[in-house]
Amino acid sequence: MKIPEIFEFIRVDERLPHILCPGCGIGSAMNAMVRAIIESGLKNDDVCVVSGIGCSSRIPGYIDADTFHTLHGRAIPSATGVKLAHPELEVIVIAGDGDLLAIGGNHFIHAARRNLDMTVILINNFNYGMTGGQASPTTPQGKYAKTAPYGWTERNFDACAIAQASGAVFVARSTTYHVTHLRTLIKQAIKKKGFALVEVISQCPTLYGRLNRMGDAVKMLEYFRDNTISISQIKDPKEAEGKIVIGVLHDVEAPEYYETYKEIIRRAQAQKHHV
C-alpha cells in the first residue's frame, strides 16, 4: 500500500503533529487499523471510529471519518448507540487498557455478551499513559508504576480471556512489533459479524518501559519479538509459559444483536397488525 493512500484517512491539515511520545506504540496500532480499514474496502464515510479517554483514545482525532471521542470508559456504550442508529456504519472502538478494562470493564463484558457488531481494538501498554504511568488492570504483578512504587501486588486481567468468557465471537492478539500480523487480525475482526476484540500489546517507553527498566522503544519491540508465540505453533501448553500468545484465539459464530433485534421488530409489527 502506498503512503498517500493512508493519508486519505488522516486529518493531515491541522491535526499533525500528533500528541504521542516518540517511540510510542499507539501510532503503529493506528497505522495497522487504517491499513486494515482500507484493505477491507471501506471508505472514509463507511466508518465511525469511537474511543474513550487516554493516549490510545486520541486516535480518532487523527482519522478522517466520523469520529467520536467519548467519556473515559464509555467508548463501547457510546458506540452501541451509533451502531444501532446506523447499522450500515462499520463501528470501530479503539481505546486503552485502563479505559476499556478498568472504568469501562463492565461495558466491555456486557458488549461481548450482547454481541452487537463492532470491532474493539484494545491497545494494552500496561499502564495509564496520559495521566503519567499509573498501574492499570493489565499491569503484571510485581511490575512498577507511579501508583505501585513498591511493585504492583494485584493480579492482572487477561482481556482476551475475559472477552471470550463473556461471549465475544472473535478474539485475537498481536503486538506492535508484528504490524502486518496485526493488520490481518484487525481485517478479520472488521469482517466478523458480532463483537470482535483485537488486543494490541504495545510499548509505552516513556512511562511503563522506563519505570520497569525495559529500555527504549526498540528494546521493548525486541522484547515483543522474542517473547511471543503464535497460537498455531503451540503443541504443548508449556511452550506458552511466560510468553505472549498471539494470533486468533477464539472465532465462533453466534447471533448478532441487531440481526436478532430486527426479528423482534418483525414480530412486534406482525402482532400490531393482528390487533
Partner 1 sequence: MQLLSGNEATALGALKAGVRFFAGYPITPSTEIAEVMAEELPKVGGIFIQMEDEIASICAVIGAGASGMRAMTATSGPGFSLMQEGIGYAVMAEVPCIIVNVQRGGPATGLPTKVSQADVMAARWGTHGDHPIVALAPYSVLESFELTVKAVEFSLRLRMPVIILSDEIIGHMREVVKLPEEVTIYSPPPLTKSRDEYYHYDDDTNFDAPYAHFGQGYRIHLTGLTHRKDGFPTNDPKIIKWKLDRLLEKITKNREWLHLVDYQDLDSDTVIVSYGSSARSALEAKFEYEQRHNKKIGFLRLITIWPFHYQKLQSLLKNAKRVIVVEMNQGQMTREISRVIKHNAELINVNRYDGELITPEEILAVL
Residues that bind partner 1 (CB under 8 A): 14-15, 44-45, 48, 50, 53, 60-61, 64-71, 74, 76-86, 88-89, 106-107, 110, 261, 264-265, 267-269, 271-272
Q: Which is nearer to partner 1, 151 or 167 (CB)?
A: 167
Angle (deg, nearest 10), helices 179-191 and 26-39: 50
Q: Which is nearer to partner 1, 43 or 191 (CB)?
A: 43
Q: Under a CB-based contact definition with an 8 Å cutoff, are residues 120 and 105 in contact?
A: no
The two beta strands, 244-251 and 228-230, are: parallel
Measured from the CB of residue 84, what is the shortest distance to partner 1 in angstroms? 5
Return d(Cα 95, Cα 124) in angstroms, integer.
9
Q: Other CB atoms closer than 10 Å to residue 18's CB: what's the count?
A: 15
Measured from the CB of residue 154, what is the shortest distance to partner 1 in angstroms? 23
Q: Which is nearer to partner 1, 78 or 188 (CB)?
A: 78
First to last CA, the chain: 58
Q: Which is nearer to partner 1, 54 or 247 (CB)?
A: 54
Measured from the CB of residue 31, what is the shortest distance to partner 1 in angstroms? 19
Return d(Cα 108, Cα 80) in angstroms, integer.
11
Measured from the CB of residue 40, what is the shortest distance to partner 1 in angstroms? 18
Q: Which is nearer to partner 1, 105 or 151 (CB)?
A: 105
CA 1, distance to chain mean position in Å, is 23
Measured from the CB of residue 59, what is the shortest distance to partner 1 in angstroms? 12
